Amino acid sequence: DRLSEDAMVGMQHAVLLDCMKAFVSSLLVGFEVTVVPDVGTDIGAKLTVDDDLTVLTLEVQTILRLLPLETLQCVGPSMEVAAIACPQVKRLDERCASMIVADDDISGWGHCLNLRFETPRARKFFVASMKVLLVGADPPAMPRERVHAA
% pLDDT > 90, the chain:
39
**Torsion sign (Cα): 123, 125, 126, 130:** positive
> Do residues 77 and 94 touch, judged by C-beta distance below 8 A?
yes
The pLDDT of residue 9 is 74
Contacts of 44 by beta carbon, 8 Å cutoff, 6+ apart? 32, 33, 34, 35, 60
Q: Is the pTM of this model over 0.75?
A: yes
The pLDDT of residue 45 is 95
Contacts of 137 by beta carbon, 8 Å cutoff, 6+ apart? 53, 54, 69, 70
Residues 81-89 have a mean pLDDT of 68
The pLDDT of residue 121 is 95
Q: How confident is the model at residue 143 (pLDDT cuts 50, 70, 90)?
A: very low
The pLDDT of residue 87 is 65
The pLDDT of residue 82 is 65
Q: What is the DSSP letter of 38?
A: S
Question: Cα separation of 115 and 125, whole Å?
Answer: 13
Q: Check pLDDT > 70 for residue 88.
A: no
Q: What is the DSSP string of 133-150?
A: HHHHHS-TTS-STTB---
Q: Check pLDDT > 90 for residue 46.
A: yes
Question: Cα separation of 39 and 91, whole Å?
Answer: 9
Question: Cα separation of 67 and 47, whole Å?
Answer: 10
Question: What value does the mean pLDDT of the chain take?
Answer: 81
Q: Check pLDDT > 60 for residue 11.
A: yes
